[in-house]
Amino acid sequence: MTARKVRHLHTAIRDDIGDLITHRPLPGPSIDYLDPWLFLNHHGPQVYDRDNKGLPFGPHPHRGFETVTFILDGSLAHADSGDHESIINAGGVQWMTAGSGLVHSEVSPEAFRREGGRMEILQLWINLPAELKMTEPRYTGLQADELVQVELDNGRGHMTLIAGEFDQQGSTFRGPIETLTPTFMSVITIREGSLIHLPVPEDHEIFCYVVRGNIMISEQAIRPCHLIEFEQEGDNVEIRGSGDATLLFGHAPRLKEPMVSHGPFVMNTREEIEQAVDDYRNGRFGGLNAV
Residues of each annotated binding site: 60, 62, 104, 106
User: Residue 7 to residues 204, 227, 231, 234: CA-CA distances in angstroms?
Assistant: 15, 11, 5, 12
Convert 224-258 to b/e letters by CB count within 10 Å (16 or more is b): bbbbbbbeeebeebbbbbbeebbbbbbbbeebeee
Q: List all residues 6 or more positions away from 169 whose beta carbon is below 8 Å from its beta carbon.
A: none
Sheet architecture: strand order including 220-222: 195-199, 236-241, 215-217, 220-222
Identify residue 111 by its one-letter amino acid code: A
* Annotated binding-site residue numbers for Fe cation: 60, 62, 104, 106
Q: Which residues pair with 76 in a beta bridge?
A: 88
Three-class secondary structure of residue 12 per DSSP: coil
Q: List all residues 6 or more positions away from 283 whose beta carbon is below 8 Å from its beta carbon.
A: none
